Amino acid sequence: MFRFLTAGESHGRALTAIVEGVPAGLPLDEDFLARDLRRRQWGYGRSPRQSMEHDHAEILSGVRLGLTLGGPITLVIWNRDWENWKTAMSVTPTQGDTKRITRPRPGHADLAGVTKYGLDDVRSVLERASARETAARVACGAVARRFLEEFGVEIHSHTLAIGGEQAKVPARIDWEQVEGSLVRCADNVAEKDMMAAIEEAMGSGDTVGGVSEVVAFGVPIGLGSHIQWDRRLDGRIARAMMSIQSVKGLEIGDAFESAGRRGSQVHDGILPGGGARSPWRRKSNHAGGIEGGISNGEPIVLRLAVKPIPTLAKPLTSVDLVTGQSVQAHFERSDVCAVPAVGVIGEAMLAMVLADAMLEKFGGDSMQETRRNFDGYLRAIGGAH
């Protein structure tokens, strides 16, 4: 199955990752990974560090002559800012001043982390808890995206809201326009309002959150299962999305609106005459492409609720861990708004869940074998009606 593991600290020497389960014979190169890494860094309201890093993932193993070998793929993203943190983040003991942080930030892992692990320096927690870690996830997700592309699956994201400003989503989204938007918004008018909300928050030393929508097209019917709780596709997606820093809620389809409606207004009628991925089609997609824990052939639609970043230029009240006195929380260089970036990270996490589900159902040791299994399944369900 497709799985990944990341390692590294925000200001450490590098972020590393290992991706396992990719069949042999998948075309893959560093330029493909770089595209999504650039998309993660880009956007209005990001911190100055994003212009400093220029993230690039090097492939150290698992690929030969442009094709995957079937073994683990090792990726490394070097942190350019490491040059300024060699003393504070030294692996070996040092005589230099490491500037111990003792004022935890509300909303971060700071206080819970130092308490849980018995630490006396918040930096030992915040370095790994930082959303910088998601650069490694996006690189891994790009590997999954490359795999899914071979089977006609596409994943996109766009911003629905920032700082209370809501987008009016067109019936057909122009994804090129979204990619060109500084806030990844499909609504030109709302884009300007969102940027103004970010500027206002920035000027007052505050931050803003919002909502990002992630959509997967071309997902075949039959991924996931109703058989056991941990095999349900919606449950697997929920776990992945809720693991993203600052994501505090997930909606699949029209979940929250549907909660206030009657069943006749919610469930998606079934019609004949589908396509290659399903012999049927739906009158609507309120379910967001998943029923009973299984993909139903419609686009998978997710909405991520993203809280405002808790690192504030005008810090909130905290307590000094050494003196016990009331103080202002520590301030660490941070974004004002990360909603557009969260959309790209959500794409990566969804890609990895779907790649895992695809390999669970169609997996082989090579891309040729996986393709045969996939094509045979589509032929079989195409004759079901």
What does the pLDDT look like over 24-81, one tens digit per residue? Answer: 999 999 999 999 999 999 888 766 555 556 899 999 999 999 999 999 999 999 999 8
Q: What percent of the chain has pLDDT over 70?
A: 97
The kind and range of the H/E element at 57 are strand 57-61
The average pLDDT across 345-367 equals: 97
**How is domain 3-382 classified at the CATH fold level?**
Chorismate synthase, AroC fold (3.60.150)
343-382 b/e (C-beta count within 10 Å ≥ 16 → b): bbbbbbbbbbbbbbbbbebbbbeebeebbeebeeebeebe
Report the alpha-carbon distance of residue 251 to residue 253 in Å, rounded. Answer: 6
The average pLDDT across 155-180 equals: 96
Model pLDDT, residue 131: 93
Model pLDDT, residue 275: 80
Model pLDDT, residue 253: 97
How sure is the predictor about 384, in pLDDT bands with cuts at 50, 70 and 90? very low
- What integer best gives the mean pLDDT of the chain? 94
Record the pTM.
0.95
The average pLDDT across 214-235 equals: 97
Q: What residues contact residue 333 under an 8 Å CB cut-off, 6+ apart?
A: 47, 48, 49
What does the pLDDT look like over 236-289, one tens digit per residue? Answer: 999 999 999 999 999 999 999 999 999 999 999 999 988 878 888 999 999 999
Model pLDDT, residue 383: 47
- 142 close to 55: Cβ distance less than 8 angstroms: no
Does the pLDDT at position 350 exceed 90?
Answer: yes
Name the token pair of 261: 């409606």
Least confident of 63-77, 137-151, 184-198, 267-281: 267-281
> For the chain, which residues make up each domain, given as ranges?
3-382
Report the alpha-carbon distance of residue 40 to residue 56 in Å, rounded. Answer: 12
Model pLDDT, residue 334: 79
Least confident of 52-56, 109-113, 143-147: 52-56
Name the token pair of 287: 């379910």
Q: What residues contact residue 283 under an 8 Å CB cut-off, 6+ apart?
A: 268, 269, 270, 271
Report the alpha-carbon distance of residue 10 to residue 28 in Å, rounded. Answer: 26
Cα angle 316-249-309, degrees, rounded to a multiple of 5: 30
Model pLDDT, residue 332: 83
How sure is the predictor about 385, in pLDDT bands with cuts at 50, 70 and 90? very low
Measured from the Cβ of residue 64, the count of other Cβ atoms closer than 10 Å reads 10
Q: What residues contact residue 270 under an 8 Å CB cut-off, 6+ apart?
A: 280, 281, 282, 283
Question: In whole angstroms, how far apart are CA 111 and each of 95, 115, 160, 168?
Answer: 26, 6, 32, 39
Model pLDDT, residue 98: 77
Model pLDDT, residue 15: 97
Side chain identity at residue 11, one-letter code: H
**Cα torsion at 8, 14, 20, 23 (round to 10°)?**
160
Model pLDDT, residue 278: 83
The average pLDDT across 174-185 equals: 96
Sign of the dihedral defined by the CA atoms of residues 238, 356, 146, 35, in that order:
positive
Q: Which position has the token pair 């990360």? A: 338
